[in-house]
Structure 1
Amino acid sequence: MARTSETRGKVVEVALRLFREEGFQATTMRRIADEAGVSLGNAYYYFAGKDELVNELYMVIQRDHRERALQVLVHGGSLSENLAAVLHSGLDVMAPYHAFGGSFLQLALPTRSSSSPFSQESSDARSMAIDLMRTTLETSKQKVPASLNDVLPQLLWMIYMGVTLHWVTDSSDSQQRTRTLVDGLVPVVAKAVRLARLPVARGLVTDVAGLLKRMTSPEGLER
């Protein structure tokens, strides 16, 4: 079992390195197998193709993002400052994969794609990302009603997805436009969260979150 886990991990490690260095399209399963020192059949034993390795990329990014974010979150800090720190740390983690952005969109945009961030196959990475947003809210001094504890982390994750989409298509130096977007966006989000404490806004937030839940549920994905 340990050997199996070690071999699988090596395939993942090599694949992600090749994605960073040579791009997704230029990387083949045969090249991954050769670099990992395993047979092509062995590589296919663990992954049916490169698309499945994209979900491994999601997991690696989310683990690294959480590790970095926890180092910059300030207990009792403002939501605006903490959310900015979390979003910027996410961009830092993704930076080495920017050249992979075009291929990422081709894989992730089809609603039935296993590489979609809304897919069942991506559920573990998605849960990790939403949990990080929950931690961001809990760490910040700006408190929200208990009834929105499950709702707001999901909505913050959707904002993170929007920032990621902008980053993928951002051709500015070091994706500086996306950094500027984050800095301008987080104060607006913080104000919206404060408004969410009002009963009239709370219902709207709940409705939006319900729509999001349907989008990411297995039943909703099958429609």
Structure 2
Amino acid sequence: MSPRQDTRQLILDTALRLFEERGYARTTMRAIAEEAGVTPSNAYYWFASKDELVQAFYLRIQTEHAERAAMALASGLPLTDRLRAVEHAFLDVIADYHGFGSAFVAIAISPESPTHPLSESSAPAREQSMAIYREVVAGAAPRVPDKVRDILPELLWLCHLGVTLFWVTDRSPGQERTRRLVDATVPLITPMLRVARLPWGGAVVDQVRGALAVAMERAG
């Protein structure tokens, strides 16, 4: 890593620590710069705002998740096995950031916040994450029914957001309840695939598609 990249990472790591310790609203860019040992102008060179710092964190997490997921998805496994492996890989990636998540969730879920998962600002990280779930579906064996192949990645991604929110509020040691939730809910995808294969399954899939369209409307 180059010295310039080191500085950028230092600023981001410092910001995440201060967000956890002081809260997002009470942490200023100047305080982040001072704590990181850089000038405010240097901090602003790398990140124009606290929101940009959060987006950089999102991208870091998604990059690490994609790398871990790639190992889990290398071989053609059943959809449930692929999904379970990907969700546990994500929990491994975010394990060290639980304090930050707890401190930040109230800001992130505000519809007006640029850091909301469905905001335009979050589009790069959202797309990177969505690509993982497209791969989960595309490489499953047996093949996922055509009726649901186009909507299933978005549905799985929304469920992934739910898992993330549960993790943020999970106070069990090592957030082990979240892992148990993943193991308990992943098999629920099997009945949906069975319905999709039935002659009348298309009507149910269309209803799900309509609900997804509403859920995925962009915030702010």
* TM-score range normalised by the length of the shorter chain: 0.7 to 0.9
Q: Are 1:12 and 1:53, in contact at CA under 8 Å, matched by a contact in 2?
A: yes
| Per-residue deviation, 1:167 | 0.5
Show CA shifts across 1:93-121 (max 9, x none): 11111011232221111112111101111
Task: Point out the more displaced range, 70-79 or 54-63.
Answer: 70-79
Which residue in the other structure is 2:105 paired with? 105
* Cα RMSD after superposing both structures: 2.7
Which residue in the other structure is 1:121 paired with? 121
| Per-residue deviation, 1:55 | 1.4
Which residue in the other structure is 2:133 paired with? 133
Q: Are 1:69 and 1:89, in contact at CA under 8 Å, matched by a contact in 2?
A: yes
Which residue in the other structure is 2:88 paired with? 88
| Per-residue deviation, 1:18 | 5.1
| Per-residue deviation, 1:45 | 4.4
Show CA shifts across 1:28-66 (max 9, x none): 422432354432133234434323311111111110001
Q: Are 2:76 and 2:139, in contact at CA under 8 Å, matched by a contact in 1?
A: yes
| Per-residue deviation, 1:3 | 9.1
Q: Which runs of 5+ in 1 are unaligned?
A: none
Which residue in the other structure is 1:29 paired with? 29
| Per-residue deviation, 1:23 | 6.3
Show CA shifts across 1:152-183 (max 9, x none): 10000011011111111100111111111100
Cα distance change on mapping 1:191 and 1:28 into 2, 3 Å = same
Q: How far apart in 2 are the matches of 1:212 and 1:23?
A: 36
Q: How far apart in 2 are the matches of 1:5 and 1:47?
A: 13
Which residue in the other structure is 1:164 paired with? 164
Which residue in the other structure is 2:70 paired with? 70
Which residue in the other structure is 1:38 paired with? 38
Cα distance change on mapping 1:204 and 1:111 into 2, 3 Å = farther
Which residue in the other structure is 1:146 paired with? 146
Q: How far apart in 1 are the matches of 2:213 and 2:36?
A: 39
Cα distance change on mapping 1:43 and 1:212 into 2, 3 Å = farther
Which residue in the other structure is 1:197 paired with? 197
Amino acid of the structure 2 residue aligned with 1:76: G
Cα distance change on mapping 1:147 and 1:205 into 2, 3 Å = closer
Question: TM-score scaled by structure 2?
Answer: 0.84
Show CA shifts across 1:103-156 (max 9, x none): 222111111211110111111111111110011112220322335333110000
Which residue in the other structure is 2:176 paired with? 176
Q: Are 2:77 and 2:141, in contact at CA under 8 Å, matched by a contact in 1?
A: yes
Cα distance change on mapping 1:6 and 1:94 into 2, 3 Å = closer
Cα distance change on mapping 1:202 and 1:99 into 2, 3 Å = farther
Cα distance change on mapping 1:113 and 1:192 into 2, 3 Å = same
Amino acid of the structure 1 residue aligned with 2:212: L
Q: Are 2:134 and 2:153, in contact at CA under 8 Å, matched by a contact in 1?
A: yes
Q: Are 1:74 and 1:82, in contact at CA under 8 Å, matched by a contact in 2?
A: no
Percent identity for Structure 1 against Structure 2 = 44
Question: TM-score scaled by structure 1?
Answer: 0.83
Q: Are 1:69 and 1:86, in contact at CA under 8 Å, matched by a contact in 2?
A: yes
Q: Are 1:151 and 1:206, in contact at CA under 8 Å, matched by a contact in 2?
A: no
Q: How far apart in 2 are the matches of 1:10 and 1:163?
A: 29
| Per-residue deviation, 1:27 | 4.9
Q: Are 2:62 and 2:129, in contact at CA under 8 Å, matched by a contact in 1?
A: yes
Amino acid of the structure 2 residue aligned with 1:53: L
Q: Partner of 2:197: helix, strand, or coil?
A: coil
